[in-house]
Amino acid sequence: MDFDFLINNFVGLTVTGLALGAIYALVALGYTMVYGVLQLINFAHSEVFMYGTFAVAWVFVFFHGKQADTQGLGSALPLLAVSLVAAMLLSAAIALLLERVAYRPVLKRNAPRLMALISAIGASFVLAEVMGLRNRFAGWFGLDDDLDNYVAKARDVYSNPVTIQPEGLFSIGDYAVKDVDVLVLGAALLMMVALDQFVRRTRFGRGIRAVAQDPESAALMGVNSTRVVQVTFLIGGLMAGAAATLYMIKIGATRQNAGFILGVKAFTAAVLGGIGNLRGALLGGLLLGVMENYGSALFGSEWKDVVAFVLLILILLVRPSGLLGESLGKARA
Amino acid sequence: MTAPLTARDRLALQWVGMVERWNSLPRASRLLIVLLLALLFYALPLLRPPILTTQQTDFGGIMFSSAALALVAVGLNIVIGYAGLLDLGYIGFYLVGAYTTGVLTSEHWHWPFFLVLPVAIAVTMLSGVLLGAPTLRVRGDYLAIVTLGFGEIIRLIVTNVEWLGAARGIKDIPHPPTIGPDPKPPFGEGGLFTIPHLSWNGLIPSLDENRGTRFLVFGAADAIPYYWLILTVLILVLVADKLVKNSRVGRAWEATREDEDAAELMGVPTFRFKLLAFAMGAAVGGLSGALFASSQGGYINPLSFPLLLSILFVAAVIVGGAGNRWGAVLGGVLVAYLPERFREFADFRLLVFGLALMILPVYRPQGLLPPARTIRARVAEREIELLEGGEDTGPTDDGLDGPEGPDGFGRTNSTGKVG
């Protein structure tokens, strides 16, 4: 147990942990929204996120070319803005497709909830495999040479050619807080607040909460529940796209199975905060990110995930429905 | 009146009728048929029937992994199907069984295989109780993520703890003991006698001179003896499963699954029964893990137990039809067998598998072989609906819509919308 390391690097570990946690929280929103409305674990949400990361890398390859380069955050900002839009659009499109193809037909048949989970698992495989076989699909249309920069070595790590170099922005004690971490944390918080206000204050947000509370009565009161479910997936996708952009700023590389473990973490974050609860997702995500960092400082980075899951189990023992433990439906207007 | 029972309802009823007719056969003839069927399954890898047989990979090996996954699915079916607990970390128990075997027979001690088997089961059962005791108090989907976390924790522990072999894994796990003299390569084949395989020329079978299975040598060369071993274990587990399911315990599980609060009010100690289901499921998982560890390769490492495999286990149970032991067997076999059979698609097989998982819930929302009780309940519900007039059931496109479900999703509402 390396307490000295933890204490000496406390600020740094906290800040990077918060930034990582913010990404978890954004992905966790997708799980928590869908769970709040449908009471289903959206198993394929990790793939929605993964497509977003690829969108970011593709935008950079398209505008910048394949040659490796290192840029500061400032000079990369215009391209980052474009890729944010692209990632949010692609992720949202995938999420909507998911709802249409994998969920609606199953739910329409009043299938047991576990069956919807199977459909989602299937969709997750399909999405990951389509990405992993994209060179073959391009080959069918004879496009694999033209698209070589985008599809070659489909199963390997695919990096953003532009590495974003973090620079110190201001310092707390000895630690220089990096601009990248500030951007990630700030952007994630901004989006969270916007979503929270959307669900709490707008007319449509009220519809979402109504369906989460009691779908039957909501339908009787004139809420279009199909539309509500669609919008829920759309929001989850948009947030996952934003998370993907932030993830690519920090990590810089992705691959066709990159979503799985991050999805598991994000779902953990959602459960930690109380699934179905938007503020819970934020709290759970940040807590998870920070605790993981402390844990890997104390026990070594190979125990990072163990710390995360042990934390989850401990918290659920004390608070069996998560930290903030109220569902989407019970949120007050 | 709307249309009477749909074609699918009638088919389902026929199936139930068949099951009932089967149950009313004299005991002796039922036993005979079961024995013949079992014999057929034992002989399957020797017969190598065309179409079924995989050409590019060892058919005996595929049969082994299918039976192994069927065994896992039967164990997981106790947890998911009977007790209604969504366990996404079943791989953890599988791993505990495998590693107990590895540590006791190879890494640190050298116990004989058949002594280790019950120990592995006991250790796994204990781990099931240890995990279940604190976590089974959380309900539903929280349990899913907790078990998922457990599976990952166990895997990371064996990856990082040097005493358990860490990333290099455990090798030279001994095979089960051979019956007859030990093989002494290159000339002594060992075992008692050779059972020849068949080979097929179109539809004409002939004895294959070059291929045979020595009875009964557990070695690296031939997977068929392992298949026989695991098939025997599977049959024993199925018998035990039937006895437990039909006992007071099975009824308590069913009551707990359907309505926990009501069961508790009726005097069922739900927590204790959930824990029992967890422990029994874990025991079967540990058993199959132990068999896996000592199978052909005799080698395990943390990479043999990815979390994704856990998801496949769940898929096997639900695809087959949660709650029906034969459904679990079928699901396990399909999930193991289909990707291997269609190796021609090689790279596309996971994609196709995913598509199959997406299509299945639409056409068989209850799984391939739902429990007979579910079918009967569904048909009864429809009959009641028809008696009540049935006009308000709307366009029953597929005959599967029960009475208005508690969710009511997917029905659009034409009167208005929000936003």
Quote the minimal CA–CA distance from B132 to chain A in Å: 11
Q: A140 touching B, CB under 8 A?
A: no
Q: A98 touching B, CB under 8 A?
A: no
Question: What is the model's pLDDT at position B96?
Answer: 95
Across the interface, whether the CB atoms of A107 and B407 are under 8 A apart is answered yes
Across the interface, whether the CB atoms of B400 and A223 are under 8 A apart is answered no
Closest residue in B to A305 (Cα) is B153
List CB contacts of B273: < 8 A, sequence separation 6 or more. B83, B249, B252, B253, B256
Q: Which residue among A121, A202, A320 sits closest to B138, beta carbon to beta carbon? A: A320
Rounded Cα gap, residues B315 and B321, in angstroms = 10
Q: A173 touching B, CB under 8 A?
A: no
pLDDT-derived band at B221 (thresholds 50, 70, 90) equals: confident
Peptide bond into A169 cis (omega under 30): no
Domain B60-177+219-363 has CATH 1.10.3470: yes
Query: Model confidence over B175-209: pLDDT tens digits?
Result: 888 877 777 666 666 777 778 887 777 777 777 77
pLDDT-derived band at A60 (thresholds 50, 70, 90) equals: very high
Tell me the count of A-B CB pairs closer than 8 A.
200
Please report residues of A whose CB lies closer than 8 A to that of B382: none
Answer whether residue A316 is part of any domain.
Answer: yes
Other C-beta atoms within 10 Å of B351: how many?
19
C-alpha torsion sign, points A291, A293, A298, A302: positive
Across the interface, whether the CB atoms of B413 and A225 are under 8 A apart is answered yes
DSSP code, position B368: S
Query: Model confidence over B49-70: pLDDT tens digits?
Result: 777 777 667 888 888 989 999 9
Confidence (pTM): 0.84
Rounded Cα gap, residues B380 and B127, in angstroms = 42
Mean predicted lDDT score pLDDT of chain B: 82
Answer whether residue A159 is part of any domain.
Answer: no
Rounded Cα gap, residues A211 and A250, in angstroms = 36
Across the interface, whether the CB atoms of B409 and A275 are under 8 A apart is answered no
Phi, psi values for residue B198, rounded to 5°: -95, 150
ipTM value, please give it: 0.87
List CB contacts of B362: < 8 A, sequence separation 6 or more. A105, A106, A109, A119
Closest residue in A to B353 (Cα) is A122
Q: B153 touching A, CB under 8 A?
A: yes
R_g over Cα of chain B: 24
DSSP code, position B322: T
Q: B418 touching A, CB under 8 A?
A: yes
Rounded Cα gap, residues B30 and A290, in angstroms = 62
Question: What is the model's pLDDT at position A238?
Answer: 95
Rounded Cα gap, residues B262 and B250, in angstroms = 16
Pick from A43, A47, A49, A42: which is nearest to A27 by CA? Answer: A49
Mean predicted lDDT score pLDDT of chain A: 89
Residue ranges making up the domain that contains A195? 3-146+164-330
CATH of the domain at A298: 1.10.3470
Pick from B353, B295, B296, B347: which is nearest to B319 by CA? Answer: B353
Rounded Cα gap, residues B73 and B237, in angstroms = 11
Q: Which residue among A215, A226, A271 sits closest to B407, beta carbon to beta carbon? A: A215
Q: B78 touching A, CB under 8 A?
A: no
Please report residues of A whose CB lies closer than 8 A to that of B319: 118
List CB contacts of A45: < 8 A, sequence separation 6 or more. A27, A30, A31, A34, A95, A236, A240, A263, A266
Query: Model confidence over A205-223: pLDDT tens digits?
Result: 999 999 988 888 999 999 9
For chain A, how many structural domains are there in total? Answer: 1
The first and second tokens of residue B349, run together, are 């097989």
Amino acid at B109: W
Which A residues, 234 through 273, put their C-beta within 8 Å of a C-beta on chain B? 260, 264, 267-268, 271
SS (H, E, C) A74-130: HHHHHHHHHHHHHHHHHHHHHHHHHHHHHHHHHHHCCCCHHHHHHHHHHHHHHHHHH
Rounded Cα gap, residues A264 and A107, in angstroms = 24
Query: Model confidence over A113-125: pLDDT tens digits?
Result: 888 888 998 999 9
Quote the minimal CA–CA distance from A65 to chain B in Å: 29
What is the rounded average pLDDT of the residues B15-37?
A: 86
Query: Model confidence over B318-363: pLDDT tens digits?
Result: 888 888 899 999 999 988 888 777 766 667 877 888 888 898 888 8
With 70 as the cut, is the pLDDT of residue A248 above it?
yes
The answer to whether the beta carbons of residues A121 and B310 sit under 8 Å apart is no
The first and second tokens of residue A123, run together, are 């969709």
Question: What is the model's pLDDT at position B397?
Answer: 45
With 50 as the cut, is the pLDDT of residue B401 above it?
no
Answer whether residue A58 is part of any domain.
Answer: yes
The DSSP string of B213-266 is EEET--SSS-SHHHHHHHHHHHHHHHHHHHHHHTSHHHHHHHHHHH-HHHHHHT
Answer whether residue A194 is part of any domain.
Answer: yes
Which phi-psi region, left, alpha or beta, contains residue B209 (left: φ > 0; alpha: ψ -120 to 50)? alpha
Q: A116 touching B, CB under 8 A?
A: yes
Q: Parallel, antiparallel, or unpaired for β A168-172 and B204-215?
A: unpaired
SS (H, E, C) B379-413: HHHHHHHHHCCCHHHCCCCCCCCCCCCCCCCCCCC
Question: What is the model's pLDDT at position B413?
Answer: 37
Closest residue in A to B357 (Cα) is A122
Query: Model confidence over B134-165: pLDDT tens digits?
Result: 888 776 677 888 888 888 889 999 999 888 88
Question: What is the model's pLDDT at position B97?
Answer: 94
Q: Which residue among B145, B160, B404 sits closest to A267, beta carbon to beta carbon? A: B145
Quote the minimal CA–CA distance from B311 to chain A in Å: 8
Rounded Cα gap, residues A207 and A213, in angstroms = 10
The answer to whether the beta carbons of residues B241 and B74 sit under 8 Å apart is yes
Query: Model confidence over B358-393: pLDDT tens digits?
Result: 988 888 887 888 887 777 777 788 788 888 875 554
The answer to whether the beta carbons of residues A264 and A27 sit under 8 Å apart is no
Across the interface, whether the CB atoms of B150 and A313 are under 8 A apart is answered yes
With 50 as the cut, is the pLDDT of residue B419 above it?
no
Question: What is the model's pLDDT at position A118?
Answer: 85
